[in-house]
Amino acid sequence: MKYSPWSHERAVALLATLREEKGAVLMALQLMQSEFGYVDKACVELIAQTFNKSRADVHGVLTFYHDLRTTPPPPHEISICVAEACQAVGARELERDVKAKFPQETRESYCFGNCALGPAVMVDGTIIGRATLEKIEVARQ
């Protein structure tokens, strides 16, 4: 995935598109991450000011959701579904192998809605069904 480099001006412009939305803190955090690849610390203050919330409120939302990150992403993002259906067809074993090979890129997720083709893995936003280490290596290229 390609992300824009962090820019205060770009962040302000993006937040302006959500200014009229009610309860837009989560949407704002997701928007920052989709644009920059992560939520920069400066975004917390910007979002708080934009939506008249406290920094603590914004920080609470940011830290509650595990898919939001506060550091730049690794070169590739590998999410392995560890919901029950995928576990039943080897997701935990696959997770162990993938984490051993790509420790900084790998994280757990719960259900991509691809249960019939488990174990399901998402590599850089693309879902892979009946995932294997070999398929993941190809998808990273």
56-75 pLDDT per residue, tens: 999 999 999 988 999 998 88
pLDDT tens, residue by residue, 15-33: 999 998 888 999 999 999 9
- Same-domain status, 60 and 109: no
Please enumerate, as own/partner, the contacts of 100-108 that have beta carbons within 8 Å and a separation of 24 or more.
Answer: 101/133, 101/137, 102/76, 102/78, 102/136, 102/140, 104/74, 105/74, 105/75, 105/76, 105/77, 105/78, 105/140, 106/78, 106/79, 106/80, 107/77, 107/78, 107/79, 107/80, 108/79, 108/80, 108/82
In a domain, 69, yes or no: no
Our count of domains for the chain comes to 2
The whole model's pTM is what? 0.69
Question: The domain containing residue 110 runs over which residues?
Answer: 78-140
- Same-domain status, 60 and 90: no
pLDDT tens, residue by residue, 84-111: 999 999 999 999 999 999 999 999 999 9
